[in-house]
Chain A
Amino acid sequence: MMLPLLLAIPLVGGLAAWIAGLRSATAPRWIALVATTIPLVIALPLWAAHPGDSWIAAFEAPWIPAAGIEIYLAIDGLGILMILLTFFLGIVSVLVSWSSIKKRTGFYYFNLLLILAGTAGVFTSLDLFLFFFCWELMVLPMYFIIGIWGHENRNYAAIKFFLFTQASGLLLLIAILGLHFAHAAETGIHTFRYEALLDTELSPGLGMGLMLGFFVAFAVKLPAFPFHTWLADAHTEAPTAGSVILAGLLLKTAGYGLIRFTVPLFPEAAATFAPLAMTLGVIGILYGAKLAFAQHDLKRLIAYTSISHMGFVLVGVFAWNTWALQGVVLQMIAHGLSTGALFILAGGIQERLHTRDMNRMGGFWRDAPRMAALALFFAMASLGLPGLGNFAGEFLILLGSFQASVVTTVFAALGIVGATVYSLWIIQRVFHGPPPVSPRLPDLSLRELVVLATLAAGLLALGLYPRPVMQTAQPVISIIQNTAGSASVASHMLPMEPPREAATVANAPSVFSQYPAIDSPRSPPFLLGARMDAAGPTATPDPSFEP
């Protein structure tokens, strides 16, 4: 029963905030804070109690039986990490908006909480229709947040964001339905359940078409080259919390979708497509870095760095081995924290100076040393300084993709050089140089300091001791990998994989025994546990790996 609460609390809280906002401007803030904190408090014990290799929690209820649609929520290691990230960044974005959103706070927090509910839904739904429902649910409130509380060119940015996501969303819908009907034609059962659809046999042509539908929808949200153009505008014009949520959560839903759906559902098509996808990822890494370097709008610059970092995610997902996937999970979390923090800093500067133009900045270190020091920290995280979360993620991704494709990895690694350049560029342009002519820049407030310090601590923990996160993600990654029939993807692409991996694959059992059937959530997970043991831990990197 915990899972529906994760969705219901933000929803109800959002409505309450809207209603309270009619009377008071402060009440919605507190309501929003409570409505983001409670789910985090609910989710933390779930993580702690994570049994390893089964669903942590599941919930089922009929919804539209006529079409085979259910409310089917379930959460595993990957899901719980993403849920924690969701509500952690949720609290951060409520706090960030605390003083900067002064007008119409009720409606603002309604939208904010609605996005969080949609995101939580995306990370927990295992009915594909419900997934799509939540996927679309995130879009409209984000549109409002950009369009109402955004900066100068907000309407353009908001519409562009909406158009891109809506068009790609419809492709996703068609692909989901195509899969649904292919499954129905094969088995005679109309269902949108993830586990059932995993088993669908598709002809190569249909499989490729449907896979592309999923891929494009996620690539737009990720965003991958060449679907990235909306991101810079949306980030630039969004209010700070909007940028934090956009970078921290909405982009992650795409990475999650690639891992959870695109590859496992269409392993053959994904394997065929992998070289192209990895190439797109590499282009994204390099192109994003290059464009970032060319910006003088601070938020725009950070937005392009997101494109670059998300390129790593794309490369990692399609490299599709344990190292790379572990890296992707770490990278998604670390990027959510570090880029969120950079946007908070950029938003703070804009709030103080009313400009994002770096040509009008410089020398802020003298006036705002705390801000500058933290900015340096997050810039270092962004450039991949060892010891911080981003390094762990990018390193693992490169390690994994090296086994899949050396050339790709060589070019992807160049992205780290690019990251160094633009990260230092930010520090140099904004905080170094001659002291500003403008009035003194007030330093961080206590509230901002606490928020940023927490994010910094998170990054540090992730960099120095990524083990808890990796251990949580590990079983899921193995299961998903086997489910996707590593036979097709991995053997196709990973000639350097240890031979025992192949043995694992050969006796990889059917999907249903891989994932414990959810209709009996109380059934002991030993079946799966035994399978995991048989699969052999050698196929996985040492979870205690520390960079």
Chain B
Amino acid sequence: MTLQDLQAILPLIVVAATAVTVMLVISFYRNQTVSAMLTLSGLLMAGACLSINWGSAPYKVDPLLRIDGFANFYIGFLLVASFVVTVLSHSYLEKYRMERGEFYVLLLLSVLGALTLAAADHFVTFFLGLELLSVSLYVMVGYIFTKEKALEAAVKYLFLAAATSAFLLFGMALFYAELGTMEFSSIAARLQDDAPIRSAYITAGTILIIAGAAFKLSVVPFHMWTPDIYQGAPAPVTAFLATVSKGCVVAVLLRFFSAIDLQAYSGIFNALAAVTAASMLAGNLLALLQDNIKRILAYSSIAHFGYLLVAFLSGGDAGAAAATFYLVTYFAATLVAFGTIGYLSPTDQEADTIEDYRGLFWRRPGPAILLGIAIFSLLGLPLTAGFMGKFFVVGAGTGAELWALLIILAASSATGLYYYLRIVIAMYTIGDDAEIHRQKTAPPPFAASVGTTLAVLAIFAIAVGVYPEPVISLVNTATESLEAFVQTDVTPEPTQAGQ
């Protein structure tokens, strides 16, 4: 390892070092605010280190990681989301009298896993990152074990995630057996050099890898875990599951599939299109049956990743940019939604039935407006980021002429309206029992940190909805380097992906 290598992966090193520091500090001095502060400053420092690398030429840490514009963008973006989750967790955990310091160690380790995935250029880092992310998450999901359903959720997540890791490993093994390499860029080169090599091994391997990733993204048919675990996990952990742990998988998928040309495998392409359609439909239709807001958001996330896959399937630069942009808008809305839920949750219980939100708009306008903005953004109404996100996804899909998927997108997201509106309706209805609920869900003293963070995110969501240009140019720069990665390393002639 050279000094240059170290500099390139400095953000990752800082996060890892922070995890160790927090762990050491806990063993001498237990104070959850101190742990949280250390975590936050570690994430900030990682961000600062990132800004050193920002804009520099793509750099390969041979052979495992690639630090380029794409990786840097995702690292920065995941760091911001992790920062928000840390702030949310701090105020959430304040309500519990238990050992809380370790939570931050776990959180930092999962973040490290996520960052590794964002920069992965090799099956080893792919797998390592994913495991680092998942193993810490098993514990985080069940961290507040006194809570109803927490352990059930944790165990469920453990079993299913472990099973899909096996899928993933097997898929990677098949690639290795056929091509003798585990590096994305050389996989791409071998596939390109020798077209007939697209054997059953590669097809099966691709399917298995997609299955492994699909589990993390919770798309149909690997979505079964989502509602239970969203419901059982503490709200900040749910926020983390819904955003960071999915975002980094999108990053690695985009990179992996910019290396292998998905359009060339029509069978896999069609299967993925079916998965996409099924996710949009199942997510939106099943959410209609729910009364629990966390479960509703779980099903809606299934649908949202269906939308994102539409962009993914569109392929090329536009597809990757649309998927990334969509992810940014989805992150903002989801973090605000779960942040508000966590903030409103009383001790030992989540404010997660629709009843808990009855009349919220009239008695606590602040959180209600935040949740409202989040929901409208998820719905994709104008003036919110979600509108722009949906626009670019539909744009990418139209550009690639995926008409059938687009029609399903339109129909299913219109269905989605109904369950989102149920929450909104509850918020502005005044029931006779509003007073009772007010007492039941009286939140702890207002945490200024959470309020400010969520307000900033909500303002961001609106700002992107009104003037998305800065974010778009950031995203475009990032995804251009993804193209560059394919073109410079893989093939002498331009690939088809750019069309």
Q: Which residues of the other chain, A, contact B411 by a CB distance below 8 angstroms?
A: 167
Contact residue among B362, B383, B414, B476 (Cβ-Cβ distance under 8 Å from A66): B476
- B418–A163 CB distance below 8 A: yes
- Please choose the segment from B165-173, B242-250, B466-474 that sits at the chain A interface, where 4 or more of its residues have CB less than 8 A away: B466-474
Cross-chain contact A170 with B414 (CB below 8 angstroms): yes
| Most B CB within 10 A of own CB, among A136, A155, A158, A173 | A173
Determine chain A's interface SS by DSSP, over half rule: helix
Q: Point out the residue from A104, A167, A173 that lies within 8 Å of B394, measured CB to CB.
A: A173
Inter-subunit contact A66/B410 (CB<8 Å): no
**Chain A: minimal CB distance from B371 (Å):** 15
CB distance from A25 to the nearest CB of B (A): 15
Tell me if B382 counts as interface (CB < 8 A to partner A): yes
Minimum CB–CB distance for B401 against chain A, Å? 8
Contact A173 B469 (CB under 8 A): no
Q: Is A133 an interface residue (CB 8 A)?
A: yes
> What residues of A have a CB within 8 angstroms of the CB of B390 in the complex?
173
Find out whether the CB atom of A173 lies under 8 angstroms from the CB atom of B382: no
A63 located at the interface, meaning its Cβ lies under 8 Å from any Cβ of chain B in the complex: yes
Q: Which one of A174-182, A300-308, A469-477, A529-537 contacts B?
A: A174-182
The answer, yes or no, to whether A399 is at the interface (CB within 8 Å) is: no
Q: Which of A63, A65, A137, A143 is within 8 Å of B382, CB to CB?
A: A137
When the two chains form the complex, which single residue of A136, A147, A148, A159 contacts B387, counting CB atoms closer than 8 Å? A136
Complex CA gap A163/B417 in Å reads: 7
Q: Are A64 and B410 in contact (CB under 8 A)?
A: no
Q: How far is the CA of A170 from the CA of B392 in the complex (A)?
A: 13
Neighbouring A residues of B469 by C-beta, 8 Å: 63-66
| A133 contacts B472, C-beta separation under 8 Å | no
**In contact, B472 and A166 (Cβ under 8 angstroms):** no
Among residues 464 to 487 in chain B, which have CB atoms less than 8 Å away from a CB atom of chain A? 467-469, 472-473, 476
Chain A residue at minimal CB-CB distance from B425:
A155
Interface bits B385-409 vs A (CB < 8 Å: 1, else 0): 0010011101100110000001101
B410 touches A159 (CB 8 A): no
Within 8 A of B (CB), among A289-331: none
On chain A, the residues within 8 Å of B398 by CB distance are 174, 177-178, 180-181
Which of A104, A137, A174 interacts with B410 by CB under 8 Å?
A174
Q: Does A487 contact B (CB under 8 A)?
A: no
Distance (Å) between the CB of B177 and the closest chain A CB? 41
Task: List chain B residues, Cβ under 8 A from A174.
Answer: 394, 398, 406-407, 410
A137 to B429, CA, bound (A): 22
In angstroms, how far is the closest chain A Cβ from the Cβ of B10?
Answer: 31
B410 contacts which chain A residues (CB < 8 A)? 167, 170-171, 173-174
B257 an interface residue at 8 Å Cβ cutoff? no
The distance from the CB of B336 to the nearest CB of chain A, in whole angstroms, is: 17
Contact A162 B472 (CB under 8 A): no
Cα A35 to Cα B110 with chains together (Å): 52
What chain B residues lie within 8 Å of A162 (beta carbons)?
417, 421
Any chain B CB within 8 A of the CB of A85?
A: no
B410 to chain A, nearest CB (A): 4
| B413 in contact (CB, < 8 A) | yes
Q: CA–CA, A377 to B228, complex, Å?
A: 62
Contact A67 B428 (CB under 8 A): no
The answer to whether B472 and A173 touch across the interface, beta carbons within 8 angstroms, is no
Given A67-B392, A177-B395, decide whether A139 and B381 contact each other with a Cβ distance below 8 A: yes
Q: How far does the alpha carbon of A255 sit from the alpha carbon of B411 in the complex, in Å?
A: 24
Residue of A nearest to B476 (CB): A66
Question: Contact mask A178-221 → B, CB, 8 Å, 1/0?
Answer: 10110000000000000000000000000000000000000000
Bound complex: CA A180 to CA B428 (Å) = 39
Q: Is B418 touching A159 in the complex (CB atoms < 8 A)? A: yes
Instruction: Give A411 to B450 CA distance when docked, in angstroms.
Output: 64
A170 cross-chain contacts in B, Cβ below 8 A:
394, 409-410, 413-414
Is A140 in the interface zone, CB < 8 Å from B? yes
Q: CB-CB < 8 A to B425: which residues of A?
A: 147, 155, 158-159
- Besides the contacts A136-B382, A163-B418, what 7 more A-B pairs have beta carbons closer than 8 Å? A66-B472, A129-B391, A140-B376, A155-B429, A158-B421, A167-B411, A177-B391
Q: What are 18 inter-chain pairs, A to B, with CB distance below 8 A? A: A63-B467, A64-B469, A64-B472, A67-B392, A67-B472, A133-B382, A134-B382, A136-B382, A143-B421, A148-B428, A159-B418, A163-B418, A171-B410, A174-B394, A174-B398, A177-B399, A180-B395, A181-B399
Give B residues with C-beta under 8 Å from A.
Answer: 362, 376, 381-383, 387, 390-392, 394-395, 398-399, 406-407, 409-411, 413-414, 417-418, 421, 425, 428-429, 467-469, 472-473, 476
8 smallest beta-carbon distances between A and B, as pairs: A167-B414, A170-B410, A177-B398, A136-B382, A66-B472, A137-B382, A133-B382, A166-B414
